[in-house]
Amino acid sequence: MPATYETIELRKEDNGIAVLTINRPEKLNALNNSVLNELESVFDTIANDKEIRGLILEGAGEKAFVAGADISELADLNEESGRAASEKGQRIFLKIENCPKPVVAIVHGYALGGGAELAMTAHLRIATPKAVFGLPEVSLGLIPGYGGTQRLTKLVGKAKAMELILTADKVSAEKALTLGLVNHVVAEDPGSEARKILGRIIKNGPLAVSRAIKAINAAETGDGYSTEASLFGSLCNTDDFREGTAAFLDKRSPEFTGK
Ligand code: COA
């Protein structure tokens, strides 16, 4: 029986794509402990479910993707519990970033604080013109704590990350596009655009796609070249590699089995 969740929703489509919705629209999908715990659990399910080849990550309601960590739960933190909360958020967000299936976030409204950090864990981001990005933690006397100082710096570079985080400024979708924070800004039907992109990804060898994600993520850990070489080598030992190269030589479409 599929797991039931209270603050998120996972819906599988019949095209290999699943849609994961953060579902607390009355609180602008703020990340409380329940959402975080359910995210941690659902990403195990997603990683292990062979029917899911790609994922769309979105927020429920009109206004927000996610308006941040739940400030009502932050207010009582002390040094020890604050460090633990940050480490927990980091662990869960790293798990999303390392998801072996491609993850596309659709940001249609506020993506603030932990919401911007969550969007940055996705492999690709599509925004609508109404999206608003920002890391306003310093305005609360804090800093981003779920990996945001690191991911933003890698995505947009140090100078721009410094400006965004230190000013706590909110930026539009267009500005986010120029910064390199989002891949595309789509006015009409961003879901259909996300499905088109995922469709182009999941027609490829699934093992190759998941190992490409791993190799690209390794660019940030310092051992990227050796990780790339060993993943490349491991793929040479797969049916998908033999099928992909044979199909090219036979001038036909490949039929990948993920083996
Ligand atoms: N944590 C907890 N609750 C939040 C929240 C958050 N990060 N963001 C929004 N909410 C709640 C509000 O408290 C409100 O709840 P209520 O109806 O019970 O009072 C509800 O969501 C709707 O938000 P509201 O502020 O009324 O909407 P708005 O359209 O006037 O403003 C924002 C939208 C996003 C500008 C505003 O909600 C905001 O600034 N949120 C905090 C953003 C932030 O600092 N995030 C970083 C946290 S580290």
List pLDDT tens digits, range 132-191.
999 999 999 999 999 999 999 999 999 999 999 999 999 999 999 999 999 999 999 999
E-strand ranges in the chain read 8-12, 17-22, 54-59, 64-66, 103-107, 110-112, 124-127, 132-134, 170-172, 184-185
Nearest CA to ligand 1 atom 45: 68
pTM, to two decimals? 0.97
Give the distance (Å) from ligand 1 centre to CA of residue 28. 6
The answer to whether the CB of 38 falls within 8 A of the CB of 66 is no
Active site annotation includes 73: no
- Please work out whether the CB of residue 205 comes within 6 Å of at least one atom of ligand 1: no
The answer to whether the CB of 51 falls within 8 A of the CB of 15 is no
Indicate the DSSP class of residue 138: G
The answer to whether the CB of 186 falls within 8 A of the CB of 126 is yes
The pLDDT of residue 1: 55
In terms of Cα–Cα distance, which of 53, 155, 56, 39 is closest to 104? 56
Q: How confident is the model at residue 3 (pLDDT cuts 50, 70, 90)?
A: confident
Mutate to test the pocket of ligand 1, among 28, 35, 135 (most ligand atoms within 8 A of CB): 28
Q: Is 30 left (phi over 0), alpha (psi -120 to 50) or beta?
A: beta
Residue boundaries of the structural domains of the chain: 8-201, 205-250
Give the distance (Å) from ligand 1 centre to CA of residue 103. 26
* Distance of alpha carbon 134 from alpha carbon 140, whole angstroms: 13
The pLDDT of residue 238: 97
The answer to whether the CB of 220 falls within 8 A of the CB of 171 is no
Structure tokens at 63: 């206004």
* Alpha carbon distances (Å) from 64 to 10, 28, 50, 107, 139: 18, 5, 30, 8, 19
In terms of Cα–Cα distance, which of 130, 129, 139, 137 is closest to 109? 130
Active site annotation includes 188: no
- Please work out whether the CB of residue 27 comes within 6 Å of at least one atom of ligand 1: yes
Q: Give the CATH architecture of domain 8-201.
A: Alpha-Beta Complex (3.90)
| pLDDT value at 220 more than 90 | no
Q: Which residues contact 11 (CB under 8 A, 6 or more apart)?
A: 18, 19, 21
Atom of ligand 1 nearest to the CA of 139: 44
End-to-end CA distance of the chain: 26
pLDDT in tens, 77-112: 999 999 999 999 999 999 999 999 999 999 999 999
